[in-house]
A and B are shown apart, each in its own frame.
Chain A
């Protein structure tokens, strides 16, 4: 008898599927906890999304490419459809990349999407990282996530490098040779690492298959794990927000994940995918068919790595070719120093949050972002770092700048050498002054209002510009930031009158702290009393 079940209301199909899944996965609990998760709205918070989506695009297109790519260095003679390579001896890896480009449906487009997405992924991570840096979003509790992000950037560089090397073309082969040179410059272990990596002398027949495993499995696997951990931490810490009325260190003001951000993020994914696909359809990237197969006896001018390795290239290009010969061993400083600087420059970025919190002694949680101008020393340090980075990118492309701006290659190298030392100092000073100037302007705006552009002539002949007072919301946003006191070494005599000698480290820390928050290094923000005094008095000032 089926009457019992018939009389019972039958739930809609969707609900039944959801019930089924909840019984096994507990999705209702997850949804309840996360569906109303709030995200604040600002375009710069979407930079990370650009990275995430381009990473997904890279994985999707990469899977397609693995179906046709042959990671082998066995020698073949080309008989495909690209005329200028007919009958040329090359590795199977290079030949299969030519096949992907010319003989496999959609192969060239997918290759170009893959490569453009990688270029954009790294550029996106760079910009995202500096958004986080300049707004102080890496402060407690997000230091670990800063490190995860940093690792993603560095691993992205190496994943990109191994991928760029896979086609075994003349350009990437030169890059692999460059890397081998850098490895060889390491004292004592260099030769062993090189022999281990290449399975013997350069180039051997092992490096492409090895890079293949690293490029499609090892590094992307680690990166995927880090991406997930990065996102879990973003969820766990909740998103930071800019100061504004109603926004505190204890809340997040914005829109819920469902439906608003699901729709926006989902839509944005397709926008990113579509845009990168359009770029890939418009512009060539890495035209390996014109570059030729790798042969150790050939080389071309204009041999650069992709942009994210360009600063390492710059260090090597502008470094004088110093070397020390002792007891039959050569220490190639001309390559070793660049290799060390490569690590130091990146390492400084990774460690900065910890250095800053040590200097300032600030161990509190921060969920409200700083405006870059309100942290002049940090902002100036960041700009100094970026200056070094971009100066070295100029060094890495010195030959291209030379031919296209009709300059001497040597002059550019000298410019880069000098700018490596002078550039960051200059950038630091200029940036700090700009920040302090902007702080003064903020103060001016709060106290006297916005310059309206209307000029009024007073009865006695004086001209004044009318200032429009800011609304309370704008005034709040301009004065919400905290201003810190520099750390002091403390009294040199303790409460019992015993002389206390501060350690050198303590003194250094106090000095550095003064350089962050000391007099002249931040403009005291207007107080409520100042504001009242001005507004209660006469009309203008």
Chain B
């Protein structure tokens, strides 16, 4: 202890203490932090952002600007979040084919890994809604009836009673929700693409979104039962009226012609 005590005023003592302290914190950090994984993630993240930026420069920059700042042809992507990218690119809406009243759904161009890279890049431009995890969008166990009530209150005025879609002004429209994946429905509610308003968690909590997804799946999915027979598109009285006129009355007139043609005659001419 004497030696240590005698050298405590040595000019290099502070340096040694600093080195020791650094080694201790570094060592403790290395020991306790999930160092390997964190490092790998970090690189993967920055790698994804890099890759995403490359994809972005090729597929998106012509409209959204080289840094996502937006141009006259496309809005700024700063702050739209990864959920918006996952929805727009994941449903094939982006990259857009041509300007128009509304960008329609198309076959998807990128694979999911590329979409994730694009999303990572756009998310790095500014904070926004994050792509939901599988458990966040899973409708199992959700309240279908509650979802129906929420759907009729918030969604039906554009998407129709059971999400069959509807017209908006000037060629815009609310699309049919049949076959849309739970994740994309969730992201659409979260981000409000195109003419749609957004329903962030502050106005519509995650559970309510799940209820709505469950309702759509029940009334407008692959396994939706149609107890009354052909659903005629589920569009209401317009398609019913057309069916009634063409097949209903049309069929009865055909029968009337047939009956009138088979009249009682003494001799068939």
A-side interface residues toward B, CB under 8 Å? 41-43, 45-47, 49-50, 83-88, 101-102, 108, 112, 116, 119-120, 123-124, 127, 170-171, 255, 260, 264, 267-268, 271-272, 275-276, 279-287, 289-292, 295, 297-307, 310, 396-400, 402-403, 406-411
Contacts and interface: CB of A to CB of B under 8 A. Distances in A.
Nearest to A255: B264
Contact of A399 (B167, B218, B259): B167
Contacts of A85: 145, 148
A279 B247 contact: yes
Interface of B: 101, 144-146, 148-149, 152-153, 156-162, 164-171, 173-174, 215, 218-219, 226-232, 234-245, 247-249, 251-253, 255-257, 259-261, 263-264
Given A43-B253, A300-B161, A305 B152 contact: no
B256 A119 contact: no
Given A43-B253, A88-B148, A403 B157 contact: no
22 contacts: A41-B260, A50-B249, A85-B145, A87-B146, A108-B228, A123-B248, A124-B252, A255-B263, A260-B264, A275-B255, A276-B252, A283-B230, A284-B226, A285-B228, A298-B153, A306-B241, A307-B240, A307-B241, A310-B241, A400-B235, A400-B239, A410-B169
A282 B229 contact: yes
B228 A284 contact: yes
Q: Name which of B159, B218, B219, B256 has the most chain A CB atoms within 10 A of its CB.
A: B256
A227 to B, nearest CB: 18
Given A123-B245, A283-B243, 14 more contacts: A47-B256, A83-B145, A84-B215, A101-B227, A123-B249, A260-B264, A282-B230, A284-B226, A284-B232, A301-B166, A302-B166, A302-B235, A304-B236, A307-B237
Nearest to A120: B248
Contact of B236 (A88, A112, A260, A303): A303
A41 B153 contact: no
A400 B161 CA distance: 14
B241 A88 contact: no
B256 A43 contact: yes
Nearest to A263: B264
B148 A310 contact: no
Contacts of B166: 300-302, 399, 403
Contacts of B171: 402, 406-411
Contact of A300 (B160, B237, B242): B160
B213 to A, nearest CB: 13
By Cβ-Cβ distance, the 9 closest A-B pairs, closest first, are A307-B241, A301-B166, A284-B228, A119-B244, A402-B167, A43-B260, A408-B171, A399-B167, A300-B156
Given A87-B145, A300-B160, A276 B238 contact: no
A42 B260 contact: yes
B157 A287 contact: no
Contact of B160 (A287, A298, A301): A301
Contacts of B260: 41-43, 45-46
Nearest to B156: A300
Nearest to A119: B244
Contacts of B173: 402-403
A102 B226 CA distance: 12
A83 B143 CA distance: 10
Contacts of A307: 237-238, 240-242, 244-245
A275 B252 contact: yes
Contacts of B162: 290
A517 to B, nearest CB: 32
B159 to A, nearest CB: 7
A41 B259 CA distance: 10
Nearest to A310: B241
Nearest to B220: A290
Nearest to B154: A298
B252 A285 contact: no
A386 B160 CA distance: 30
Contacts of A300: 152, 156-157, 160-161, 166
Nearest to A402: B167
Contacts of B146: 87
Given A46-B256, A282-B229, A302 B248 contact: no
Contacts of A297: 153
Q: Name which of B166, B226, B243, B252 has the most chain A CB atoms within 10 A of its CB.
A: B252
Given A170-B161, A268-B259, A310 B237 contact: yes
A400 B261 CA distance: 39
Contacts of A292: 148-149, 152, 156, 161
A37 to B, nearest CB: 15
Contacts of A127: 249, 253
A276 B248 contact: yes
A458 B259 CA distance: 47
